[in-house]
Structures are given as C-alpha cells and as structure tokens.
C-alpha cells in the first residue's frame, strides 16, 4: 500500500503556513449573509456552483452552494471544494454525509487518518484516505468545521497524490484562513 497523503495531518504546519500566497477573500453566502469566509490562493480559479444534481429531478435545485478552487494550469486530476449543507449540523451528521458521498466519488475508498483539532478558533474534525477513480490512485481529505452553533462547513480535497504534493502549502493555507462570517 502506498503512503497516505499528508493533507491536514500536520497541525503545526497550519499555523506556520497561514497567509502564504493568499490573495482573494471569498465569502460563502447563504440566507443573505456570509456563513464563512476564506482566502483563495493568488491566481486560482474560484467557481461558484451547487452540489451534484445527479438523481434529482430537473425541477429540484440542490440546496448547498459549492465553491470549487483550481490552481492555474494544473494537468493532474484534482478538486478542492468548500460548502455547508443545511442539513449537516453536527460532526456525527458530517461523518454520515461524507460516508455516503465518498463512495460515489471514489472506488474502494479507505480511510487512513482522522483527528480532532481547532481551525480558525472553531472545533473541527479531519478525515483522510485513499481510493481510486477511473483506475488512478487518489488521495482524499475532508475537514468538517463547526462554523455556527448548528452548521458545519465542509472542506474537501480529492486528487492525484502528486497534485496534493505540488499544492500542499496553498491548500493548508486555505484551510487555515477559514473564519465564521459576521453574526455567526
């Protein structure tokens, strides 16, 4: 078995890399206000959309906004996303939500790491592991952050191991930049 990824595993590195190469503050807006903000790396593409509509009637729009980040000119497979499903209010619900989502995204996912920590002064849980997609090795990491009393923000990375290695500092800096929005 190949080594697991190191995403989100080095707690001390989070503080050391805060602010590295960050340029654009992005707000995750819901119900007319910012639920949380984070800093996107300079030059990265920021896409605003919604969760997958697979299996939903066309007339039903998914509820959770999704913000995706992509480094410029990245040729490897990689996806980074931030979102806050309205029905995920606790870490137990986040784990159940991810337990259903990860097998739809990856073949043979295997969790290799989990931890509790603080991100931006808020309690958080981290899960990482390995899997396959279209026959290619993939690493995955998810962070669940208690962004408000009954609201969890999710941060995800799914990608080829070399993509993580190349963008590790930027990805950790994004995670470390997350703050609760005004009034949360």
User: Bridge-partner residues for 126, per DSSP?
Assistant: 115, 143
Distance between CA 171 and CA 21 in Å, rounded? 10
Distance between CA 118 and CA 145 in Å, rounded? 8
CA angle 35, 48, 33 (to 5 degrees): 25
Distance between CA 15 and CA 104 in Å, rounded? 33
Q: What is the CA radius of gyration of the chain?
A: 16
Residue 100's alpha-carbon distances to 4, 96, 182, in angstroms, are: 21, 6, 31
pLDDT exceeds cutoff 80 at 1: no
- Check residue 11 and give its pLDDT: 31
pLDDT digits (tens, 9 = 90+) for 52-102: 444 545 555 445 578 999 998 888 899 999 999 989 999 999 999 999 999
Structure pTM?
A: 0.80
Pairing verdict, β 122-133 and 33-41: unpaired
- Check residue 174 and give its pLDDT: 95
Instruction: Work out the end-to-end distance of the chain between its first and last CA atoms, rounded to an integer number of angstroms.
Output: 42
CA angle 142, 145, 151 (to 5 degrees): 120
Q: Which domains occur in the chain, in start order?
A: 11-51+60-180 (3.40.1000.10)
């Amino acid at each position: 078995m190949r080594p697991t990824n190191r995403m989100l595993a080095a707690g001390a590195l989070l503080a050391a890399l805060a602010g590295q190469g960050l340029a654009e503050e992005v707000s995750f807006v819901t119900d007319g206000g910012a639920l949380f903000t984070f800093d996107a790396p300079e030059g990265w593409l920021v896409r605003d959309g919604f969760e997958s509509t697979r299996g939903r009637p066309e007339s039903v729009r998914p509820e959770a906004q999704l913000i995706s980040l992509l480094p410029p000119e990245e040729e490897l497979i990689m996806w980074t996303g931030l979102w806050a499903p309205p029905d995920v209010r606790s870490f137990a619900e986040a784990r159940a939500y991810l337990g259903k989502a990860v097998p739809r995204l990856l073949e043979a996912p295997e969790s290799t790491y989990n931890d509790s920590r603080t991100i931006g002064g808020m309690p958080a849980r981290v899960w990482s592991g390995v899997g396959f997609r279209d026959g290619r090795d993939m690493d995955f990491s998810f962070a669940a952050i208690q962004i408000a009393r009954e609201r969890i923000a999710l941060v995800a990375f799914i990608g080829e191991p070399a993509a993580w290695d190349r963008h590790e500092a930027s990805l950790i800096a994004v995670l470390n930049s997350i703050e609760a929005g005004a009034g949360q």
